Copies of this chain bind each other. A is one copy, B any other.
């Protein structure tokens, strides 16, 4: 974990939620942000840990995992540069309620001390609301996951999971093992292997040992049925709504912000969303 601060341009580029803040809010926390580099599998915090830092992913992807003491566990949410983790602290509860695991190797996060951010939220209602709207988007993501888990076949849920990972990456190559996917979706490893073959047979992905390449994103969306898209559309709507509320005309989307923009901006609605 190496810390490394304070070049405004770079900081803005990394996390879409931060780069969407207006100047006042941004400058409340900018001086207190530091960048950390994290490795695959690193646990930012576990359930019932005290939350010392709030993390804003740049290139990192964070999985939220609910687990019990019998070894059962399930991924409840996925967070990338569009959001942050550690929100329970922002909401007044000092402990984490689930595990947060890094899903990527060598990704970076920006972090700020919990107390600092809480103070900043106390000062700025708009900052607080921006953060809360992301939390709200996460509840929608969870709701959609529940619906998907309950009513869609594994092939669709796998397609959805791949899309969600893809949304949060700048490239088409996902480095992941079947094991991890099976843990995320709460199914057998062998079931994932089978389903990946299925999707590969349909030329939607290419799958090699340790990595999966997204070949036909639109096809994957179709394969996901209605399980993909609602949460993503909501996220866009929430951002639009927030921008409308803060009717300042300063550009909230910077050039660098467009890099992996699949889900963060309104310009590119996912192709062929059928739901």
Q: CB within 8 Å of B: which residues of A?
A: 64, 66-70, 72-74, 76, 87-88, 91-95, 97-98, 122, 125, 129-130, 132-133, 135-136, 138-140, 142-147, 149-151, 185-186, 226, 230, 234, 237-238, 241-242, 245, 275
Contact = CB atoms under 8 A, between A and B. Distances in A.
Contacts of A145: 146
B139 A226 contact: no
A95 B138 CA distance: 15
B93 A238 contact: yes
Given A66-B147, A122-B125, A234-B97, A136 B88 contact: yes
Counted per complex, copies of this chain come to: 2
Given A68-B230, A97-B136, A147 B74 contact: yes
Given A93-B238, A93-B241, A132-B91, A149 B146 contact: yes
A226 B68 contact: yes
A139 B95 CA distance: 14
B143 A143 contact: no
A73 B147 contact: yes
Contact of A133 (B66, B92, B98, B130): B92
